[in-house]
Structure 1
Amino acid sequence: MSTPNRDPFALVVTGEPVTAEPDHEPVERGSRLDGWAARMLSTPRRRLAWYWGAPLLVTLLAGILRIWNLGHPHALVFDETFYVKDAWTLLSNGYESAWPENADEAFNRGETSGYLDDPSYVVHPPLGKWLIAVGLAAFGAGDSFGWRISTAIVGTVAVFVLMLVARKLFASTLLAVLAGFLFAIDGHAIVMSRVAVLDNSVMLFALLGFGCVLLDRERHERALGERLAAAQALGRDPSWGPVIWWRPWVLGAGLCFGLASSVKWSGLYFLAAFGLYLIVVDALARRRLGLPLWTSAAVLKQGPATFLLVVPPALAVYLASWTNWFVSDNSYYRHWAEAAGNAWTGVFSWVPPAWQSFVYYQQSIYNFHVGLKAAHPYSADPVSWLAMTRPTSMWYASPGTGTEGCIAEPCSQAITSIANPLIWWAAVTALLYLVYRLARYREWRVGLILMGTVAGYLPWLLYTERTVFQFYTIVFLPYLLLGLVFVLGLVLGSPDDETWRRNRGLSLTAVFVIAATALTVFWYPLWSATTVPYWFWMLHSWLPTWV
């Protein structure tokens, strides 16, 4: 393991050996692979090819795994019954419209015009459905490829974004590519990119917000130092330090978290968590600069500025996502306040009826979410998510002999949103180690990674009696992978390590990556609805609760 006073990642990127202190006997350092890499990256053009080429190849792999045979099955899968049909009526009527009973069968047959003029009661903001609607507009509602292509693109882009985040976080293209590769081949990420549901979009927008917070961190501390030095040169009291208003990455974070919240309200958890994180980071930066009132300055001076940079932009994005609700005369609850006895009275009676109706609708959505306790065979208690004891089966079919590739019955087709077991359980183990490491070493990278996991996971522990599913974990999967790659970076070591240690680190990492890849090959049929013998499907039931 690396010592806490040494950055274990900088050496991984540059490949520049650090001169060892003189020893009585020379110690062999690095590995043959390091020498080969140094030769391969010996020119600026080759380094540029590695810098961008490797991430792009991983992104291409991610796209293939997500888009191959995407239109199968030609049937509404799991919650696609809500979101695909809602997206189609948004395009057609301008608002989410109701459908007659048993409309899925007709929709699957291509009879997509059976929606009603009545509005449908929906409990998620419109943005995620508008993204699905882009695919419907391009390919038509009768093409199941069009139902899912937007979600597949979102999942593919997320792999590339994670690599950009990881490279900035670890200053290492190698670790960035490793993070992207694990994300590209993970089954949970693959399935959530192959089914037209909303959570993948929440994940991408939250990850973009996380990246903005990361980019602001270094910039903000540098700006604080420069402003403080300028104030001291003018003889001003430095007790509080300056207020920094120009923080474009914080503004970007607010917009991104607003986009996440405009898909599902769970995006608000990221907005709240990283809003607090920005205040804490500002306080610590002021303490490092020697300001005596660093706590009160961060909360009372910079805090309000940070709030204004984050929350109003997020709110503006959220309200903008509901534009069609306001302009469509037939939207659900659109005229609620105009009904007798509903309009507000007293001090808020001046609020326009449309806004009164909108607030009532938001209250109704909140009540629905906190009170949802419908029985479901694949409901999973959030306490069990990290153990992955109840992954979500999104679709299952048993084709007969001679149909859909079934040679001899019984056959199975499944879409199971289960992560690559090795990647998931290794990432959860790494998460536990990161908690220990943060407590002991106070490393900022570890704290930032854990905050992403906290935002995506911990709030759900307040809703253990609500109907929730394992697939919600897609929103914090990127941070689990960042934590796993952090640990793999420690295992890898650096070219300056003694040869035996470096070779051990490279070997262990290679074994892990090869084993994870093999499991992806083994599991991919169950992520992509590929026809397999029933016995092969049963081979994947490693736990009784996975059936």
Structure 2
Amino acid sequence: MTEFVWRWRVTLMASIVGVVAAIMRFSSLGYPQALVFDEVFYARGAYSLMTLGYEGDWGGDNQDFANGDVSQLSTDADYVVHPNVGKLMISWGMEMFGPSAYGWRFMSAVVGVLTVLMIAFIARHLLRSTLWGAVAGLFLAVEGEHIVLSRTALLDIFLTFFVVAAMGLLVVDHHVTRRTLVRQSVAERERLGLGEGSLIPGRGPSLGIRWWRLAAIATFGLSISVKWNGLYFAAAFLVLSVIWDWYERRMLGWENWFGAGLVRAIPAFLATIVIMPLVYLASWIPWFRSDNSWGRHWAEDNPGEGLTWLPDSLNSLVHYHSQMWEFHRGLDSPHNYESNPWGWPLQIRPTAFYFEDVTDVDCGAERCVSAIHSIGHPLIWWVGAAVLLYALWRIVRHRDMLALTVTTGYLAAWLPWLPFAHRTIFTFYTVTMAPFLVLMVVWAMKRLAQPDRLRGAWWKPGVVICLVYVAAVLIVAGFFTPLWTGEPVPFRYWQLHMWLPSWV
């Protein structure tokens, strides 16, 4: 009976969260029938990869492609500055539905829904509660940054998907590892006749090949194959997995817990420096297979230059990457919607993806507009900024491992950008922060509604506060949905959403 109830709750959680996420992401997905913001690069690049096998140069007007005219694609190579995996995934949607707005956005919506479901299950495991897992999934399902990027053919949603998937694999690895450590710790205590509170001599058991962690490493390789900043997440979470090992061995009473965790980290490090580069290199197979891709024969055309000890194809790829690096390092052209990363936690300067006057739809007003703004859900982001400070205090003051776990992804998505505040960067990059923001907020909600002092029991004032907050989140999500989906609205209604002067 208990198992039936457990399965029923989990199924209900996944169903509700998945349906809400799908509605928010697939409803009117093909609108507007236009290249929104940087779709001009990635949707067209994806179509080129699908048809030519490499990214060719485009001529003509952007709207020609949006209208289904792909005749402007030339066989001349285009210089692009991001790896292929995200664009290849965008192309899968066009393989199924053609070069239409729905087609090039389809896979973004799919991975967006999958990311919501993964966060629900990750939160459920970390917080040991199906209810709180449902709240986390629901919050990400209605979070603005994640909705907008799930409805747009940009790369960042695919980066987010792989990072969350890799974290989920590490969480599974931690769960499996901990069960083994607990079992072997009990057996060793019994063998040595030790009391429950006494230290166990030695480093503890060797855990063999940790397949879940290897899968996470490969998945981090895929995230880097979408955008290079997947490296930040790989470094942060793989270090976190070592900290988990130290923590578990120490809590279970192994005397040499630090040395044990360090020794076990060496194979993981060696696997990382082998698997991740191989996965990344494999993502460039389309580039290797095509004679016409950008810079493919640079080494042959420039004998004696570059890393001559490498095969010509790899030497050419290394040179291409040096060009990409220089592009990113020097990207400081002024842009209307560039933002300072110090303001990201409060969504100070969100990105306007699309804004057009609409004349063929009656919205009940004299002026109708269709606008898409990647504004993060204000109530989630603003509360999350306060929760971050609380979580950091918990980490420093109480060495709270769960607080460290729920903040790692948020900090890995944010802190590396702070030294580059002078560059042309955008708030929509925070879509990678959104899943971990939700984990932080729901972690804090649980601590409020079920404080430690009550040992899992509910504190009624905290429950009321959480219920009011959930209701407010859903109401505000409904209010902002037209600005996340581009639904035509009266211009005055659009103005009501500009809560900060910097949002205009």
Is 1:118 matched with 2:80? Answer: no
Larger Rg belongs to: 1
Distance in 1, Cα, partners of 2:319 & 2:208:
35
Q: Does residue 108 of structure 1 match 2:66?
A: yes
Residue 83 of structure 1 corresponds to which residue in structure 2?
42
State the alpha-carbon separation in 2 of the partners of residues 339 and 185 from structure 1. 52
> 1:380·1:469 contact (CA, 8 Å) conserved in 2?
yes
- Determine the structure 2 residue equivalent to 1:421: 378
Q: Which amino acid aligns with 1:437?
A: R
What CA deviation, in whole Å up to 9, does each residue of 1:403-426 have, x standing for no partner?
123444322110000011111111
Q: Distance in 1 between matches of 2:326 and 2:185?
A: 48
Which of 42, 53, 62 aligns to 1:94? It is 53
Which of 257, 280, 290 is equivalent to 2:243? Answer: 280
What stretches of structure 1 of length at least 5 have no aligned partner?
A: 1-41
In structure 2, what is the equivalent of residue 34 of structure 1?
none
CA distance in 2, matches of 1:469, 1:522: 24
The counterpart of 2:351, out of the listed 381, 386, 392, is 392
Aligned residue type for 1:315: P
Counterpart in the other structure of 2:490: 533
More displaced, 150-159 or 270-279? Answer: 270-279
Between 448-457 and 373-382, the greater mean CA deviation after superposition:
448-457
Is 1:254 matched with 2:213? no
1:218-243 C-alpha deviation (Å, 9 max, x unpaired): 33344456667889979xx9545555
The whole-number CA distance in structure 1 between the counterparts of 2:490 and 2:230 is 40
Moved more, 195-204 or 242-251: 242-251
In 1: Cα distance, 2:260 partner to 2:61 partner: 58
In 2, the alpha carbon distance for the partners of 1:245 and 1:462 equals: 40
Matches of 1:284 and 1:493 in 2, distance apart?
Answer: 24
Counterpart in the other structure of 1:58:
17
Q: State the distance in 1 between where 2:213 and 2:459 align.
A: 39
Distance change in 2, residues 1:352/1:501 (3 Å): closer
Cα contact 1:254–1:311 (8 A) shared by 2: no
For normalisation by structure 1, the TM-score amounts to 0.85
Q: Measure the CA separation in 1 of the matches of 2:417 and 2:45.
A: 26
Deviations 1:65-119 (CA, angstroms, capped at 9, x unpaired): 111111111000000000000000001100011112x430211222112111111
> Counterpart in 2 of 1:170?
127
Q: Is the 8 A contact 1:243 1:305 kept in 2?
A: no
User: Which residue of the partner structure matches residue 455 of structure 1?
Assistant: 412
1:160 aligns with 2:117: yes
Q: CA deviation at 1:276?
A: 2.0
Is residue 487 of structure 2 the alignment partner of residue 524 of structure 1? no
Matched, 1:138 2:101: no
**1:497: how far off?**
5.7
Once the two structures are superposed, residues 313-365 of structure 1 have per-residue CA deviations (whole angstroms, 9 ceiling, x without a partner) of 22222111111100111111100100134544xxx644210011111112221
Match of 1:67 in 2: 26
1:196-207 equivalences under 5 Å are 196-207=153-164
1:330 aligns with 2:289: no
**Residue type matched to 1:203 in 2?**
T
List per-residue Cα deviations over 1:496-543 (Å, max 9, x = no partner). 969x97332222111111111111111111111111111111111111
Contact map agreement 1:67 1:194 (CA 8 A) in 2? yes
- Pick closer, same or farther for the CA change 1:274–1:47 going to 2, 3 Å: closer
> How large is the Cα RMSD of the aligned pairs?
2.5
Secondary structure in structure 2 of the residue aligned to 1:308: helix
Q: Secondary structure in 1 aligned to 2:372?
A: strand
Tell me by how many angstroms 1:312 deviates. Answer: 2.1
Aligned AA (2:144)? G
Aligned position for 1:370: 329
Q: Which residue pairs with 2:195 in the alignment?
A: none
Shift of the alpha carbon at 1:302? Answer: 1.9
Q: CA deviation at 1:48?
A: 2.4
Question: Is 1:465 matched up with 2:428?
Answer: no
> Which of 379, 383, 397 is matched with 2:338 structurally?
379
Question: What secondary structure, in the 3-state scheme, does the structure 2 residue paired with 1:118 have?
Answer: strand
Q: Secondary structure at the match of 1:398?
A: strand
Query: Which amino acid in the other structure matches residue 58 of structure 1?
Result: V
In the alignment, residue 132 of structure 1 is paired with which amino acid? I
**SS where residue 57 of structure 2 aligns?**
coil
Task: Answer yes or no: is the 8 Å Cα contact 2:308–2:315 preserved in 1.
Answer: no
In structure 1, C-alpha distance between the alignment counterparts of 2:133 and 2:179, rounded to whole Å: 25
Which among 404, 423, 428 is matched to residue 361 of structure 2?
A: 404
TM-score by length of 2: 0.92
Gap change, CA 1:406 and 1:225, over 3 Å in 2:
closer
> In 2, Cα distance between the equivalents of 1:359 and 1:486?
43
Change (3 A) 1:510 1:297: closer
State the SS of the aligned residue for 1:196: coil
Q: Give me the whole-angstrom Cα distance separating, in 2, the residues matched to 1:291 and 1:456.
A: 34
How far 1:309 moved relative to its partner? 3.2
In 1, distance between residues paired with 2:452 and 2:434? 30
Gaps of 5+ in 2: 193-199
Structure 1 residue 267 and structure 2 residue 230: aligned? yes
On the 8 A contact 1:66/1:193 being kept in 2, the answer is yes
1:361 and 2:323 correspond? no
Whether the 8 Å contact between 2:203 and 2:255 is mirrored in structure 1 is yes
Matches within 5 A, 1:230-249: 239-241=202-204, 243-249=206-212
CA–CA distance in structure 1, aligned partners of residues 5 and 81 of structure 2? 51
* 1:188 is the counterpart of 2:145: yes
Give the counterpart letter for 1:114 in structure 2: Q
Relative contact order: is structure 1 or structure 2 higher (C-alpha 8 Å, sep ≥ 6)?
Answer: 1
The letter for the 2-side match of 1:124 is H
Deviation at 1:476, TM superposition (A): 1.6
Task: Give the C-alpha shift of residue 428 in structure 1.
Answer: 1.8
Alignment of structure 1 residues 292-371 onto 2, 5 Å: 292-299=255-262, 301-344=263-306, 349-371=308-330
